[in-house]
A and B are shown apart, each in its own frame.
Chain A
Amino acid sequence: MTKAGPASVEFRNVSMRYGAVTAVDDISFTIEAGTLVTLLGPSGCGKTTTLRMIAGLEIASEGQILIGGHDVTRLSAADRDVSMVFQSYALFPHMSVLENAAYGPTVKGLGKEKSREMALEKLALVGLRGFESRYPSELSGGQQQRVAVARALVLEPQVLLFDEPLSNLDAKLRRRVREEIRELQQDLNLTVAYVTQDQEEALAVSDRIIVMSNARIAQEGAPRALYEAPANAFVADFIGDANLIDVTITSVADGRAAVAIGSATVSLPARDLGPGPAKVAVRPESLLLSETATPDSLPGTVRKCAYLGNHLDIMVETEVGELFVVQYGHHAMWKPGTPVNLAFAGSGVTLIPPN
């Protein structure tokens, strides 16, 4: 079998409609060969539909889909060199682990011996040697997940798809498996499209993240860029926590804006915004609590304080509304009613357009 190697995926103005419902609305993006790109968004945003269109399980209503530069828009799933790991794993319950993994080459007609050999190789890769004769019902959730990955890898597809692969695992296992998936992707140099609604998972594994909202792409970029420079309120709020505050830009000079946040004035990168109303997204850990007042800080009163082990969750009432503050490290608890001042850290405070 000739190995095709990883291929890029390109969407050109693709839409998907079911009757009057638009699941995916005119989206375009490119997944470079050999990278892991995450489709991130709340449920119902169209990310799974997008993934299924890459697989060929849904045929796009409009637009063009290219895999490795070839137009595959009208090709059925069976004719595309793409494999998928399903959210439910979709292991065939009546087949053993080996039979599951060997299914692809078997139905392709590669012969029993060859199929077995290929399946065993990939099962070893995911660390399931010795489990070949078990049935899916006899495996733990994590093991089932590995079988699903091995099965998808056996045909060495040009593109590998993951549909919320960790959602059925417990929290501890999730962290380990996502690292394994990332390692596997980098070791084998695979093109991977990965759907999740867990922003932490997306930040941890991705080369790039495509954030989707209401059937459209809200923002696309590297994990760090998305967290530190969200393009809009949705992305700021969806990736990590953020306090969204209505502000006024008083002046802009040399790419920096003087921003009035209530009575405090802060200097922030202008991000092409002019004077006038705007918003800032402030990460909770970028609000620094102190008892001493400075001109660029905001006075307020502690409303609530909760102890969460390695950090404190604090709600502070200010003139711009209630703000959510996180304090890491070992601090004393704040009593409700304590007057405090909130200073803004050098990072994690970002101007975004008013809407």
Chain B
Amino acid sequence: MRGTTKLVLLLGWLGYGLLPWYLVERASLVSFGWLNGYPFGRAGTALALSLSGEAPWLLPAGLALVAATVASGLRDEKIVARILILAGMAGIALFFAQGFAIGIRGQGIPGLAALLGGAGAAQPGMGAGAFLCILSLLLLLCHGLAYRGYCRGDLFTTSAIGIIVLLIGLFIFFPVVTVLESALIDQDGAFALSAFTSRFFDSSIWGLGCLTSNTNCGVAWNTLFLAVLCGVITTLLGLACALLILRTGMPGKRVMRALTVLPIITPPFVIGLALILLFGRSGMVSNLMYEWFDIPRSRWIYGLPGVLLAQVLAFAPIAFLVLIGVVQGISPSLEEASQTLGAKPWQTFRTVTWPLLRPGLANAFLLGFVESMADFGNPLVLGGNYEVLSTKIFFAVVGASHNQGQAAVLAIVLLGFTLGAFWVQQRWLGDKSYTTVTGKGDSGLPTPLPRRVSWLAGLVILPWVALTFVIYVVILIGGFVKAMGRDYTPTLEHYRTGFSIDWSRGLFFEGAAWDSFFTTIKIAAISAPLTAVIGLITAYLLTRQRFAGRHALEFATMLSFAIPGTVIGVAYILAFNVPPIEITGTGLILVLAFVFRNMPVGVRSGIAGLSQIDKSLDEASTTLRARSFTTLWRIMLPLLKPALVSALVYSFVRAMTAVSAVIFLVSAEYNLATAYIVGRVEAGEFGLAIAYSSVLIVFMAFGIGLIQLGVGERKLGRRKVVALNSSVSDPISQGAAS
């Protein structure tokens, strides 16, 4: 048995024999009152609790550790491997069996609990001891597999695969399955298929009242309609913009590029908020219209038009990013070939350029579609009577009805839509996209855009750019005036409310926003590196290692792209509100939500980065006797710096701006900036909300700079090498739903 395995075994015993098994409330490192009765009682160790008969169901995990310890004395590696695999598998199975069988009183799986000797017993959520123990059992299993020759006997590879699979299972699959399960049980907790069908086919979801009579349509149709409109409009805007920038001499390319970064660092509902300040009943524009043209103020912005406008403004840059890549990818020599064959510019555009663009357009459409489906902030702020799935889920959980079953059913409908779009994208586009970029150097000048297309594109783009500009001006100055639209007296009042610091008794953060601001930074700073590391390791395993189930793993990570934040939020509170993993209300659940929500981003940028590194580099390292971990650490990581930067930046930024998932998960103790701002908007305190938003935007721009400085440039010789993909905006073009 190798040294690493012994260390893992030691870790397991530490968790089993020394640390408190359960999660102890009010644990602290300063006062030790919570340790009362150690090693028995609430803070007891598994060893003491199982041997004393207090919790006999914890015994099997210990027996697995004993078996592995016995194996460590043996010499024959084959037998050691077999014992480790068996002990690891049995240990993990029984560990989770007891965890799920015995929960709080009245829950769990009674039959299984009786089998494990804990009929009628109850136990709290798992804690540090249980965590170390399961980690150790998993690693023992993986090491056993490596000894048997899996993954060419590489301990690091098998362990990494094991850990990633367990994490995805626990924090993506388990919550989603919990949602499905809770959709099938009625209010009393009994299994009832009829409850599901009656909820699922409810007219509030699928009703067609808006077509037949003058009532509202079902929320599913509303969502679908909005998403299709949003997809079409963002795609057209993105295409017009990409064509104008790449195919005409239009100035301002850099400005447009910069403009595409803005929505990434803008919390999603801020656009909606700015729209209210412009077009609301007492908005700036509404006031001017009333004063100059006597157009009466109305509430038109609340509802479909407002939500659609906000979403188009927020997501069109994403379509632009996708389509600029597609337009760039069309080899100019194809168009030149068409021209030399006698086609006029318009004919070339219609017969060559446009057909080559189509797959990219479909991709951009689906992206806009999914983004709109998943958007929560804008419908919440601007929706009015126009209900969509994400907001309806939210109100089903937090509203007066508190109907978790209904929330679960709505979540399933939403998940069905996004997975459907995802499926179409994978199946249909996977085969259809034309590869127009070949390995060969392709010189040639892109054909200029036909004149009529240029004019059309320009006409579409101008209002969009102008409106975006106005919106950001509103966001920036909105915090410095008394009340946008009513009273333009300059004031620092909003900033004082939110961010005042009292120096009279030493440093004291007096402002109302500081708490949530600091929590947000803390959580984002913890989750970003975790996301990047897990994402990059997964990317490495997917691209550079061959193992059984690799495609399943790839599919699972891709799948979590398609799960909307609202669904994740609901899933997390349903899954992690009760033992064995009872972490709602803690900061941990926020970190976990961010890590697994943003993991696909890390995976995507990792895969993109790795695909630029020639495989012969790791083969060279291997033939020079380096093991996978050494190769990853000494060869991949230094070369992956740009990917690391974009993964870090992106997960940090998304953690700062996310609303949909976390609005379910925040607590009084752990409130986040976005949730706080949404609260202010609902209370009508627009000034503070907009001031806080601009602080966030400025802070994130600052944070991005800091990360780029900290990770540093990739060093490839003394000559300055222009990094190929250090752009912040990279992963977004791969498709992500917020």
List chain A positions with a Cβ less than 8 A from chain B.
Answer: 55-57, 59, 74, 76-80, 82-84, 86-88, 90-94, 103-104, 107-108, 134-138, 151-152, 155, 161
Contact = CB atoms under 8 A, between A and B. Distances in A.
B616 A87 contact: yes
Nearest to B631: A107
A326 to B, nearest CB: 34
Q: Which 3 residue pairs are nearest across A and B when measured between Cβ atoms?
A: A135-B717, A76-B152, A90-B620
A87 B614 CA distance: 12
Contact of B624 (A56, A135, A151): A151
B152 A137 contact: no
Interface size range of chain B in the complex: 20 to 34
B624 A90 contact: no
Nearest to A100: B620
B718 to A, nearest CB: 7
Nearest to B716: A93
A55 B625 CA distance: 11
B616 A107 contact: no
A137 B717 contact: yes
Given A78-B627, A82-B623, 10 more contacts: A56-B623, A57-B623, A76-B154, A76-B622, A78-B622, A84-B619, A84-B623, A107-B621, A155-B625, A161-B623
A107 B626 contact: yes
B639 A83 contact: no
A90 B717 contact: no
B622 A92 contact: no
Nearest to A88: B616
B546 to A, nearest CB: 10
B624 A94 contact: no
B149 A90 contact: no
B715 interface: yes
B623 A94 contact: no
Contacts of B638: 94
Contacts of B619: 55, 57, 77, 84, 86, 90
A155 B625 CA distance: 9
Interface string B628-650: 00100011001100000000000
A246 B625 CA distance: 53
Nearest to B617: A90
Most chain A CB atoms below 10 A, which of B154, B621, B625: B625
A107 B634 contact: yes
B719 interface: yes
Nearest to B628: A78
Given A135-B716, A137-B716, A138-B719, A103 B624 contact: yes
B358 interface: no
Contacts of B719: 137-138
B625 A136 contact: no
A32 B625 CA distance: 24
B718 A104 contact: no
B149 A74 contact: yes
21 contacts: A55-B623, A56-B622, A77-B619, A78-B625, A78-B626, A82-B623, A84-B620, A84-B623, A91-B620, A92-B617, A92-B620, A94-B639, A94-B714, A94-B715, A103-B626, A107-B621, A107-B626, A137-B716, A138-B718, A151-B620, A152-B623
Contacts of B552: none
A103 B153 CA distance: 22
Contacts of B715: 94
B668 to A, nearest CB: 48
Contacts of B625: 78-79, 104, 107-108, 155
B721 interface: yes
A309 to B, nearest CB: 31
A87 B626 CA distance: 20
Nearest to B639: A94
Contacts of A136: 717
B717 A83 contact: no
A165 to B, nearest CB: 12
Q: Which of B623, B626, B634, B718 has the most C-beta atoms of chain A within 10 angstroms of its own C-beta?
A: B623
B616 A155 contact: no
Contacts of A78: 622-623, 625-627
A136 B152 CA distance: 31
Nearest to A133: B718
B225 to A, nearest CB: 45
A94 B716 contact: yes
Contacts of B626: 78, 103, 107
B718 A76 contact: no
Contacts of B635: 92
A91 B635 CA distance: 10
Interface in B144-168: 149, 152-154
Nearest to B151: A76
Given A94-B714, A155-B625, A59 B152 contact: yes
B573 to A, nearest CB: 45
Contacts of B153: 76, 79
Contacts of A83: 623-624
A151 B635 CA distance: 15
Contacts of A161: 623
A284 B622 CA distance: 46
Contacts of A87: 616
Given A57-B619, A88-B614, A155 B717 contact: no
A137 B721 contact: yes
A103 B716 contact: no
Nearest to A94: B638
A57 B721 contact: no
A104 B152 contact: no
A104 B624 contact: yes
A77 B717 contact: no
A108 B626 CA distance: 7
B621 A103 contact: yes
